[in-house]
Amino acid sequence: MIYLILFSLILKAAAGGNGLAMTPQMGWNTWNSFGCDIDEDLILSSAQAIKDKNLTSFGYECKYRYVQRTTSDNTTGAPVADPVRFPNGLKHVADQIHSLGLKANLPGFIAGIYSDAGTFTCEGHFGSLGFEEIDAATYASWGMDYLKYDNCYNEGREGTPLISEERYANMSRALDATGRPILFSLCNWGVDGPWNWAPTIAHSWRISGDIMDNYDRFDDRCPCTSVIDCKLPGNNCAMTRIIDFAAPLSEKAGPGRWNDADMLEVGNGGMTFDEYGTMWAVIKSPLILGNDVRNMTAETLEIITNKAIIAVNQDPLGSTGIRVWKKTIPSGGDLQLWYGSLVNSTWVIAVMNTSPEDQSTNITFSEGATERTQTYELFDLWDKDDAGDWGKSLGTFSGSLPETTVKSHQTKVFRAVPVSAQTKKDVSEL
Ligand SMILES: *[C@@H]1O[C@H](CO)[C@@H](O)[C@H](O)[C@H]1NC(C)=O
Ligand SMILES: *[C@@H]1O[C@H](CO)[C@@H](O)[C@H](O)[C@H]1NC(C)=O
Ligand SMILES: *[C@@H]1O[C@H](CO)[C@@H](O)[C@H](O)[C@H]1NC(C)=O
Ligand SMILES: *[C@@H]1O[C@H](CO)[C@@H](O)[C@H](O)[C@H]1NC(C)=O
Ligand SMILES: *[C@@H]1O[C@H](CO)[C@@H](O)[C@H](O)[C@H]1NC(C)=O
Ligand SMILES: *[C@@H]1O[C@H](CO)[C@@H](O)[C@H](O)[C@H]1NC(C)=O
The model's pLDDT over 191-206, given as tens digits with 9 standing for 90+, comes to: 999 999 999 999 999 9
**Please, which pLDDT band fits residue 18 given cuts at 50, 70 and 90?**
low
3-class DSSP string for the chain: CHHHHHHHHHHHHHCCHHHCCCCCCEEEECHHHHCCCCCHHHHHHHHHHHHHCCCCCCCCECCCCCCECCHHHCCCCCCECCCCCCCCHHHHHHHHHHHCCCCCCCCCCCCEEEEECCCECCCCCECCCCCHHHHHHHHHHHCCCEEEEECCCCCCCCCCHHHHHHHHHHHHHHHHHCCCCCEEEECCCCCCCHHHHHHHCCCEEECCCCECCCCCCCCCCCCCCCCCCCCCCCCCECHHHHHHHHHHHHHHCECCEEEECCCCCCCCCCCCHHHHCCCCCCCCCCEEECCCCCCCCHHHHHHHCCHHHHHHHCCCCCCCCEEEEEEECCCCCEEEEEEEEEHHHEEEEEEEECCCCCEEECCECCCCCCCCCCEEEEEEEEEECCCCCEEEEEEEEECECCCEEECCCCEEEEEEEEHHHCCCCCHHHC
CA of 51 to the centre of ligand 1 (A): 10
CA distances (Å), 423 to each of 268, 417, 418, 427, 430, in order? Answer: 39, 10, 10, 10, 8
CA of 119 to the centre of ligand 3 (A): 13
Q: What are phi and psi of 258, to 5 degrees?
A: -130, 145
Tell me what pLDDT residue 402 has: 93
pTM for the predicted model, two decimal places: 0.90
pLDDT at 11 over 50: no
User: What burial class does residue 100 get, using C-beta atoms within 10 Å of its C-beta: 0-12 exposed, 13-18 middle, 19+ buried?
Assistant: middle
Q: Is the CB of 53 under 6 A from ligand 1?
A: yes
Query: Higher model confidence: residue 148 or residue 50?
Result: 148
Tell me what pLDDT residue 106 has: 46
What is the pLDDT averaged over residues 24-52?
A: 89
What is the pLDDT averaged over residues 249-254?
A: 97
Residues 302-344 have pLDDT tens digits of 999 999 999 999 999 999 999 999 999 999 999 999 999 999 9
Tell me what pLDDT residue 81 has: 87
Q: Is the CB of 74 under 6 A from ligand 2?
A: yes
* Cβ-Cβ contacts under 8 Å for 372 (sequence gap 6 or more): 347, 365, 366, 399
CA distances (Å), 337 to each of 101, 353, 392, in order? Answer: 40, 9, 20
What is the pLDDT averaged over residues 16-22?
A: 72
Tell me what pLDDT residue 101 has: 73
Ligand number nearest CA of 170 is: 3
Ligand number nearest CA of 426 is: 6
What is the pLDDT averaged over residues 129-157?
A: 94
Q: 419 near 374, Cβ under 8 Å?
A: yes
Q: Is the CB of 54 under 6 A from ligand 1?
A: yes
Residues 55-74 have pLDDT tens digits of 864 333 444 445 565 545 66
Pocket test for ligand 1, best of 51, 54, 57, 304 (most atoms within 8 A of CB): 54
CA of 308 to the centre of ligand 6 (A): 15
Q: Is the CB of 18 under 6 A from ligand 6?
A: no
Q: 405 near 268, Cβ under 8 Å?
A: no
Pocket test for ligand 2, best of 69, 72, 74 (most atoms within 8 A of CB): 74
Task: Select which of 210, 213, 244, 292 is catalytic.
Answer: 210
pLDDT at 364 over 70: yes
What is the pLDDT averaged over residues 93-117?
A: 77
**Please, which pLDDT band fits residue 3 given cuts at 50, 70 and 90?**
very low
Judge whether 389 counts as a catalytic residue: no
Q: Is the CB of 170 under 6 A from ligand 3?
A: yes
Tell me what pLDDT residue 229 has: 84
Judge whether 192 counts as a catalytic residue: no
Ligand number nearest CA of 327 is: 5
**Mean confidence (pLDDT) of the chain:** 87
CA of 416 to the centre of ligand 6 (A): 15
pLDDT at 13 over 50: no
CA of 312 to the centre of ligand 3 (A): 39
What is the pLDDT averaged over residues 136-163?
A: 95
Counting residues of the chain whose pLDDT is more than 70, the rounded percentage is 87
Task: Select which of 82, 116, 145, 150 is catalytic.
Answer: 150
